[in-house]
Amino acid sequence: MNRSSSKARELLAIAPVVPVITIERVSDAVPLARALIKGGLRVIEITLRTDAAMAAAAAIVAEVPDAIVGIGTVLTAKNLEQAAKTGVAFAISPGTSPELLRAAADGDLPYVPGIQTASELTASVTAGFDVVKFFPAVPAGGLAALSALSGPFPGVTYCPTGGIGEANAAEWLAHPKIIAVGGSWIAPAADIKNGAWSAIENRARAASQLRKA
């Protein structure tokens, strides 16, 4: 395990759920982060799905020091470089590539590659990354698929995302190889748009009480 993967494991272990956030307006970033932290979830993934994402992450880093901000949907080495310059704590991908693994291994930013297959997991482990994102978790075969992968890769731990919500998060967290789960149910787009910070805080609080194995 390389230094990047070791730090990623430490960060993801802080809370059972990592809110996966898509932000359309930078102005929403700070109040959203504060609501999540009040609810007990400090580790936040801001996805690179909008033009506002990097600026939103930078705003949280600057104004909400208790937040542990990660950049998600990292697809290229350039994305990884931009994330590092933003000052975030980690980066995470839905998949991976040789280019990304090399860039992450050469850099200092904690990185979590995304995997779905044994081949992708082999590439990640070979590059020194043994904390991975299993995505899309439910469509890719769910807990049965993750358990099957765990057999030949006993040293790997997972942060599954995709199809995990309030109804099934506890079931996933009961798996001994799962360090945390990612999910968008904590802060849905409509609540962010409407500034429903109390509702987001309440969901975060419920999620923070989920038990890990």
The residues assigned a catalytic role are 45, 133
- Residue 72: which of 146, 151, 154, 183 has the closest Cα? 183
DSSP state of 161: B
What whole-number distance in Å separates Cα of residue 139 and Cα of residue 212?
Answer: 22
Count Cβ atoms below 10 Å from residue 4 Cβ, excluding itself. Answer: 23
| Helical packing angle, 98-106 and 118-126, nearest 10° | 30
> Looking at this protein, which amino acid is placed at residue 2?
N
Residue 98: beta bridge partners?
A: none
Q: What is the spatial distance between Cα 16 and Cα 20, in angstroms, rounded to a whole number?
A: 13
What secondary structure letter does DSSP report for 14? Answer: T
